[in-house]
Every structure is written in structure tokens, then in C-alpha cells.
Structure 1
Amino acid sequence: MNLVLPQKTPDARVGEIIKLAVMAVGGQGGGVLTGWIEALARSQGYVCQATSVAGVAQRTGATIYYVEMAKKGELEPVFALAPAGGDVDVLIAAEMMEVGRAVMRGFVTPDRTTLIGSTHRALAVSEKMAPGDGIADADEVRAAAEMASQKLILADMDGLAVAQGSVISSSLFGALAGSGALPFPRDAFEDAIRASGKGVDASLRAFAAGYDAAQSSAEEPVAPETLPAPELTGPDRELARWKTLQGRADSLPEPVRELAGNGLMKVVDFQDCGYGEAYLDQLDRIVARDSAEHDWLLSVTAAKYIANAMAYDDIIRVADLKTRAPRMARIHAEMGAKNGQLVELTEFFHPRAEEIVSLLPAGMGARWEANPKRMALMDRLFNKGRRLRTHSLRSFLMLHFLGGLKGYRLKTRRHQVENAHLQQWLEDSLKPLDDDYALSVELLRNRRLIKGYSDTHARGLTKFATVMNAADLLHGRKDAAEWMGRLREAALQDPDGKVLEGAIQTVRSFV
């Protein structure tokens, strides 16, 4: 016998529940935005419930805030605690990759979801760890969002908010109001901000910017800040030397001039005009072996990477950059500090024995590097995490002193090593020039693998040596340049070098 159960008619009031999710990274005010939405709903006679599901600290904690609201009636509705795929009316994403994550999790559907997102980026750890450019393609995310959503609103909400002296939660709240996804007037949204009582004026300005961006349904670009051209100051003798160097750079072949000018400025800023002369001397030797037949590609490549090699990151450079006035002014501006307010600043350092010994005079440093006992002693003394509170006079003066050692830098062990490495790299890169111009260009580009300092620099050197040594395996092949580029890209893909190892094995199979 079959038992037929009576079918229950779904409660029509379930469809009246408005479901809204906010996906935000830690520090972006997701909780504040959710609080405003709650206050807005209750002020308009709605019952409301908000929950949050904290994520792991992938980007300082990606959190999903979930809000359900419905008109107040005789019976109290039972709200869900978390969003479900295909059952979200409004999705607010406070960063472009959060837009992608929302689409991937199925929260965004073309039959119902209004998707509001910010186009700016807060890079994930996986993007930062890649030795090369590990940044995900935002255009792919945008294309997926356009297909997945019923209505899409994308703009640089962070830039809009910062331009008004506020934070992104304010502009996102304005975009929510401008989208028309909630049945509430603009005044009610603004009253919710006023009721919070904190930073009201700036928040309302950012709200208005977000509202306008949503109304236009197009990205409102923030006008880039116009920075004044750097004003060079110094003794007349040095300024005259600088003008002479600029004249030498301007006399180079036209395709080389721009990069040579930028490279010259970089190395002079790193050291002095004498160092700039050495840079142009190196570049002149490359230009002498190049020609317009190849569009001066070898020289253009050399102009970029010789400058990068000469302006290496040592302790002197790091200390100099950390104590410059423009950096301090930028930090004060980002913190919103007013005149007379103190800003506490902590710098994190973790020097290895190698970094300390590299500051010694060249001969002494070489002897210390060759002595395991001395290196072990230096490691015990210095290989510790340090926090320097550079708002204090003692710590600031320590870094300022280190940053002022430019005159001593060229006598150090580090400079001796870097200069020898530079000369060997150029020699190895130019060996195949007469027979394989393209391969020489690719060998010069391998310098891209070396960057940073400490452990990052050491890993880059290892990958650089591995890729450069593969030139012998590729010697005589018509596709040698193509394979050299592939090896470099493999080295840039992951920090562990597994992709590079596989690529090297492939090359060895040719032999």
C-alpha cells in the first residue's frame, strides 16, 4: 500500500526575505558596513539578523557577513545563519578577487543577484609569493561577474573613499543605495551613517561618491594624483655632472634613451654621479655591439637590467629608503595624522650573518665569509628578528646613520661580490651574440630573477644560476632563445623551483 502525504504549500512570506552577503578582507570595515545595513533595515520597520563567518588569515582574514531582513509582521521569521548558493539577492565584495570568490561559490546568479564590487586589489599571499608576476587576471574575474550576475556594479570603491578621506565601507554603502536593490530611500541610508556618530562628514562624502558610481553603472576612475617633477638639489659641481650625464644618455639611439634615462636616475639615486658614469660606460659597450637592424633590443634590455643590477638591495639601501622624508610624509598621510599628532612606526628586520659580513671592507669580509666559526658567531649575534621603533630618536638615528654610508658602500664586500657578478653576467650574456642575437637578449633578461635581499635574494641567485647554466645545454639550437625564455618563466612561477626543475629536465632530454 502506498501512503500519499499531503503537499504543503510554501509560505509566500519566505520569498519576501531579502538576503544580502558582504565579502570583505580584514580592515575594510565589513563589520561597520553590516552594522549600517542592520540599522537601516530596522529604521524602516524591518526585522533583521546579521551573522559573520570568519575566514583564515589569507589576506588578513577574509570574512563573509550575511544579513537577512523582512517586513515586520505578526510572526517572527526564522532567518538562516549563512548564505547558500543561488539564494543571495545582493552580494557586496570589497575587493576584486572577492568578486571572483563570490562567483565561484555560486552566491551570484543571473536570475536574482545584484553584484556590487570594488575593482581595487589587496593581493593574496599566493599572489605575493610568486617570484614573478603572480597577480591574478582581474579582467577574467570581470567577465565572469558580468555573466553570473543580474546586475553588476563595479568601480574603484576604495579609491573613491580615500579621495574623500574615508574608508571603503562608506562608498560600498553608497553603491548599495544607488543600486536600488533595497526598497529604502537615500535619506534612510544617510541617517544610518549619521546615527553611528563617527567620522560622519567624511563617510557621507564617500557614500555620495559610491552612490553616483552605482547610478552611472560604470566604473568611475579616480583622477591620478599629479606628482611634481623631482627637484634636484646639491652642489653646483654635482649638478653640472648630472647635466653632463643626461647629455650622454640623450645621445644614445632613440629607442634606448628613455630606459637609459630612467636607469641613470636610479643608479645616481642609489649612489652618486660617479656611479652613473660607470652605468653609462657599461651601456656604451653594449650599444657598440648592437645595431638598428635589431631595433636596438639588446641595448634596451641592457639599459633596464644593468641599472637593476647596479642598484642592488643592501642594508645601506634599505636603511636609506626607510628614513627618507617622502616616505615618512606618505605614512602620515595614509594614517590620517594631523599636524602635531605623533605616529608610532615599527620597522621589522631579520638580518642574517651574510648581510652583516657584507658590510665589512671587501678583504675582511671575504676572510670572514671563508671562516665557518666566525660566520656562526655572527649568526648567533645578529640572526634574530628585530623591531626598530623608528619614531624614537635612537632607532631613527641608527637607520639614518646606516643609510648615510653611501660613500663607504663601494669598499664593502657586498659591492665587490655584486660587481663581479654583474661583469660575469654580462660576459656570459654576450658570448652567443655573434651567432644568436635573440639568445643574448634572453640571457640579459634573466637578471629579472634576482631581486630583494636576505633569503629572497639568495633564492633568486640560485634560480638565476640554474637558468644561466642551461645556455650550454641549448647551444646551437635554433630555438635556444625561446627555450631560455621558457626556463625563466618557469623559474618565476613558483618559489620552490619545482616547475623550473621539470623544465630543466625537459631541456636535458634534448641532449
Structure 2
Amino acid sequence: MSDYKTISILITALGGEGGGTLMNWILECARNQKLFVQGTSVPGVAQRTGSTSYYIEICDRNFHNEKEPILSLYPKPGRVDIVIASELLEAARVLEKGYVNPDSTTLITSSSRIFTNLEKSHLADGRFDQEKILKTCKNMSKNFICLDLNTIASDHSTIVSATMFGALAGSGALPWKKNICENIFQDNIFGKNSLLGFNFAYEQVKANSKGIAANKKNIKINEENIINKINDSFSDGFANIVKIGKERCFDYQNNKYSELFLKRVQKILLVINKEDPKKVAVAENIIRRLALWMTYEDIPRVAQLKIKPDRFKKIKKEINIKSNQILLIQDIFKPGINEIAAMLPNKIGKWFIKNKKIVSYLPFIGKGMKINSLTIFGFIVLKFLSSFRYIRPISLRYKEEQRNIDIWIDNIILSLNKSISFTEGLADMPQILKGYGDTWDRGIKKYNKINDALIKNKLNNIVEKDGLILKEAILISMNDIETEKLDIFLQNNL
């Protein structure tokens, strides 16, 4: 009987997805830990850009002056410890071949799909049933981890092998610690992006106690369940902030947008230890900032607020208007090119900005307009402007804001377990972005400067002073309209 144990890993990916790179990372980690390891690859050209599999066996020790064991060159059905797939149908193919054992195999897969030629050439809907695949994967494996590894990779400008490595490390199945994996990545732009993707996938897997991470595309959130969980797990004040944020997003856009807010709240709370008062306090601030950021001010929002009945009631109460007096309210608008472009559909908005000279000849650009919102004409104008909120999801600024919000949340998740001080600074970043027009232009300029200098390159190696520096930079940007002081401060603290 052998005096060593082995861990067997089967990697399935498509051509060009970095499956071989992932295998080499695992081999290098094992050899750095002085473990005896062997890896083999079997390329294939069956479909799409070619399905490829890689098989690794890792011994729990080395054999310096002993006879080395003979390890298998290929996986054996029912005897694979870990299976990781870059795509959902690849996981199904491994199941079909019998490599996954319900009593011993950890199955990790991306929920994303790259359709086969058979699916794409079908005369009707030839797609495989995704729900059936997910259910089968869960039932046929001992541990099942499923998250959208391709989207995570895309969000972090890397390839799926990096996020597969992060999910694999997060599963706890590898016989070494996380930092051993992190040391594999090269110190260049691609290496840093890969490390960000690795860390995010790792945190997503760790955050979910059941091992099934939230899937951006395929898992519908249950609004009532989320709210009930928050009510049960957190204070009334905390739950009230979530409730107000949800209502604010509904008023700003629609029910779908309020669900997006709850989905983001849920994503944040997955990595929050509710027993740690510091982290709960940070989470409270994050959710407050999230609600405000998601309801950013643009022309449709301002117009919408101008004609709300509550506004007129408040004004009448404040000035104590008499029944025999007439109220006139003059709202001043001075729309610039960027403000108008921001509320238009993405491509049209970009055209507006690109052709500023032509657009500047329009009569209302950059000129102050006085609108009496209590007259029929004034109300119709404001109502028309507010109606642009219905096309907001395809507008230029909406796409930019949502992308920045998602990156901000991802950065918070990565930093939370490394430095509370740095996470507090990250939570306060959105307050730099205020208003619209010139105010917003100045804010986003400062935001990007701080993000590039103090956040992007620090996330994977945060020290305690980084949090204090980030907070100071935010304070400077809030107190100074121009960027000169901020530029000097950032230059001195790179």
C-alpha cells in the first residue's frame, strides 16, 4: 500500500481560453511547495474553437531519494477529485463521461455559455437546457461551485483561466494557501489584471457558505427574501437604509432598477461579517453611497424633481402663500453639450461630443433658459425632459456610471478582508461625483485621478497607511474645486 495520497484535477476549456496556462500555474505552485506533480494535456477540435482537457495529479509529498511513483496520464471515470470547466456545457460533457463522482468530486464551472455549432445551426431554438445542466451538476457532485467566470474575467480585462484559478483556490481543494497562487502572476499589466480577476473569483466563492456563488445572468433574485434576510440579520437602521435606497431607485427609474440595487446590496452583504461592527458600519456607508450614486443627477432627473407635487407644496408652505396670491416659479436651465449628450442614446451622445462645433450652434446650448414650471408650457417642457428617463438605460452616461459602480463594488469586495481603513476610503469615493454638467465633469476627473494613482495598483498589496492616504486625497478633492492640490498630493504619495 502506498504511503502517499494524490489529488487529481481535470481542467476542461476551449481553445484559446488559457487552459494550458492554468495547468502550468498549478504545476508551478505544486513544485514551489516541493510536491511531486505531473500534468498532461489532450487538445481537441471537436466543436467551437476546440475543446481541450488537462489532467493533473499532485502527491502530498516529494520523493527526493526515493523511487518516484507512476502517476496516471489521463483521468479515470469516477476517480477525479476536482473538475473545473470554463463553460457550462463543458461541465455537462465531463458529467456524461462519468468523471464526476457524487461521493468525492468537487465540480467548479462557469455558468456562461459559448454555443456549439449544432445549437447555432438549429432551425428553431436548439440550445441545451441550462437549468437541467445546473441541476444535474449539483446532484452529481459532492461540492458544486458555479459562477460567471467569463464575465468576471471580462470585467477585469483578463482571460477566464485567471478566474478559474481563483475559484479553484477559493474552493479550498488545493493543498496550499492563497498567497502561493498569488505569487505566480507576473508583475506587468496583464499579470495585475489576472490577479484582480483571480482575487475577485476567490472572494466570490469564499463569500458563499454553500459554495454556489451568485450568477449575474441566470439566478433571479427574490426581492422579499433579500429584504427579510436583512431585517433578520441587521439593525432596523441598517434595514431602513436599504429600504429607502430601494424606493429611491424605483422613483428614479423603475422596479427593474430597484431590483438591480438589491442585487448589488446582496453582493456586498455576502462578504460582510455581521458579527463585526466595523464591517457592518462600513457596509451601511457603502449602501448609502450606492443608492445615491445609482440615482445620479442628470437633466431627466432634475426635470422630474422640478414638477413633483410635493415640491410645490413645500414651496407654498415655506413662503406661507395666501389664498389670494399667485405663485410663479422660475427654474433656470443652462444645458451644455456634455449634459445633453449624457441623456441621449449612447451612439448619438458620442456623436454630440465628437461634433461639438456643429452642435454648439443649436439655440439652447449653453444659454440660460427660464422656465415657469407652474404654467402649462413650462410643465410640458419639463415633463418632456423628464420622459428621457425611459431611455436612460441606453444613454451615454448611464453606461459609464453602471460600469464605474460595478468596478467600485468589485474593489470594495477585494479590499474588505485586507484593510478596513482602505475600504472606508473606497466607500467614500462616490461623494466626489456630484451633480451634472461642469460639476460632474470636475468630479469624474478627480475620481479617475485618485482611482488610477491610489486604488488600481494598491488592491493586491494594501498596507495600513494606504487607507489614510486615500481618505486624505478624497478630502482634498472635496475641498478644492481645481485639481492642482490633488495632483501634488497624488504625486507625493504614489
TM-score, scaled to structure 1: 0.48
Please say which structure displays the higher CA radius of gyration. 1
